[in-house]
């Protein structure tokens, strides 16, 4: 009986968290913005389904700890796609909260904004390279 209650609590918690994440993504309008920028509004349903199935697949691999022999090249490509998604998520959140205009006004960086954004992108890039290419780099 105790295990059934724990399964119910875990499943319910997962549903609540996943609902909150997808509501957050919907509120930010990431899918709609990307579809508008790429002129592919007719594929919005496909994009949403890809996000849902990608989340289900990702959590399944973590939960059941199974291995797919897909090769380093495909892993690199998938990691690149995940990085693009997280970058879009971060920039959408920053845009929604008006972080960049506030930073520009308070920091007085009108002239060097291009270099500032490039520095942020390169920092994220090299940080992810260190994390994924050097085993145990960020594990304290």
Q: What is the pLDDT of residue 96?
A: 67
pLDDT above 70: residue 99? no
Interior angle at CA 64, CA 49 and CA 13, nearest 5: 65
Q: What is the pLDDT of residue 7?
A: 86
Q: Residue 115 in 3-state DSSP?
A: helix
Distance, in Å, from the CA atom of 98 to the CA atom of 85, rounded to the nearest integer, reads: 20
pLDDT in tens, 41-75: 899 889 888 888 887 887 777 778 777 777 778 87
Of the candidates 47, 125, 114, the residue with the CA atom closest to the CA atom of residue 133: 125
């Amino acid at each position: 009986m105790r295990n059934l209650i724990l399964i119910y609590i875990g499943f319910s918690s997962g549903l609540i968290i996943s609902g909150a994440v997808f509501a957050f993504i919907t509120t930010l309008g990431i899918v709609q913005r990307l579809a508008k920028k790429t002129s592919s509004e007719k594929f919005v349903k496909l994009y949403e389904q890809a996000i849902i199935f990608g989340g289900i697949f990702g959590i399944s691999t973590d939960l059941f700890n199974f291995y797919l022999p897909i090769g380093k090249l495909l892993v690199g490509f998938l990691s690149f796609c995940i990085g693009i998604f997280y970058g879009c998520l971060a920039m959408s959140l920053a845009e929604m909260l008006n972080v960049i205009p506030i930073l520009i006004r308070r920091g007085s960086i009108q002239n060097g904004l291009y270099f500032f954004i490039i520095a942020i992108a390169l920092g994220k890039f090299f940080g992810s390279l260190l994390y994924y290419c050097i085993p145990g780099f960020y594990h304290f």
